[in-house]
Amino acid sequence: MNRLAEIVARRRSDICAERRCVPIETLYSMLAERTSHRPLASALGRLLPTIIAEIKRASPTAGAIDLVCDAGAVAHAYERGGACAVSVLTEPHCFGGSFADLARVRAATALPVLCKDFVVDDFQLWKAAAFGADALLLIVGALEQPQLTRFLALASSLDLETLVEVYDEREAERALAAGARLVGVNNRNLATLRVDRSTVLRLRGMLPSDCIVVAESGYRDPGHLRQAMAAGVNAFLIGESLMRTSDREQAVRRLRGVPACCA
């Protein structure tokens, strides 16, 4: 079994337990109190490069990164540094995430909030919306095509934008066929966990010009971003390199090339 399949199998088990503990009616009630939607796609068209800064406490490749951080404080630092949105990992076992983190980030920042999980069940879409997400990650490699299409429709009905993540040409074709127009290209092969930043450079050419492309994984310095921007990729989802620094505000500024005195 590859690493993606392992994580997905565990999430299925988690959700079975969560359904018993959290009635769907509770999520309906929470959703009724949700505050206004913060558009992600329009935020990605602002000052370039645009960065979705991620709160990632741990990962399968890096192990523990920062297990005790204050998610709200991190999100606020990202916002001050010029991030256009905040991504929150909510998978608990490999990434140390939680929906409590998602709620804290929503309360701490005015930026759009992306819920990043391994979505395999309708319940996760309802939960993401109820806890304040503006957008949700859908991983093509974890879903059959009918599921992908159904989740896109359900997300739209819940006022959740969708970042549809692909790794190769076949997955990109599936994403477009399902109607995705906000596409994340993951440079990390989720089966092997290897990173190759040329992945997004290869796939950008096959994606329509009206498709917003977000490059994911492997970005640590401005030179990495400049290479992708030369190929027409202007939006980036960056987590580990930001989480490893003590000054996260300045780390975002550095990646964006924004001098502290100009902010």
Catalytic residue check, 59: no
**Rounded distance between C-alpha atoms, residue 111 and residue 83, angstroms:** 8
Catalytic residue check, 187: no
DSSP symbol at 185: E
Given the residues 56, 87, 187, 249, select the one marked as catalytic: 56
Given the residues 79, 91, 161, 165, select the one marked as catalytic: 165
Strand 212-216 and strand 182-186: the pairing is parallel
Please tell me the least confidently modeled range out of 23-27, 108-112, 201-205. 23-27
Catalytic residue check, 6: no
Environment class of 39 (CB within 10 Å of its CB; exposed 0-12, middle 13-18, buried 19+)? middle
pTM score of the predicted model: 0.94
Given the residues 59, 91, 171, 186, select the one marked as catalytic: 186
Averaged pLDDT of the chain: 93
Token reading at 18:
């969560």
Environment class of 3 (CB within 10 Å of its CB; exposed 0-12, middle 13-18, buried 19+)? middle
What's the CA angle centered on 146, arms 144 and 179, to 5 degrees? 105
Gyration radius (Cα) of the chain, Å: 17
Catalytic residue check, 186: yes
Q: Which tops the pLDDT comparison, 28 or 161?
A: 161
Per the CB < 8 A criterion, the answer to whether 67 and 107 are in contact is no
Given the residues 91, 217, 234, 249, select the one marked as catalytic: 217
Given the residues 79, 171, 216, 249, select the one marked as catalytic: 216
Catalytic residue check, 144: no
Catalytic residue check, 216: yes
Q: What tens digit of pLDDT does each residue of 35-93 get? A: 889 999 999 977 789 999 999 999 988 899 999 999 999 999 999 999 999 999 999 99
Catalytic residue check, 217: yes
Domains and CATH numbers, the chain: 3-258 (3.20.20.70)
Average pLDDT over residues 221-233: 93
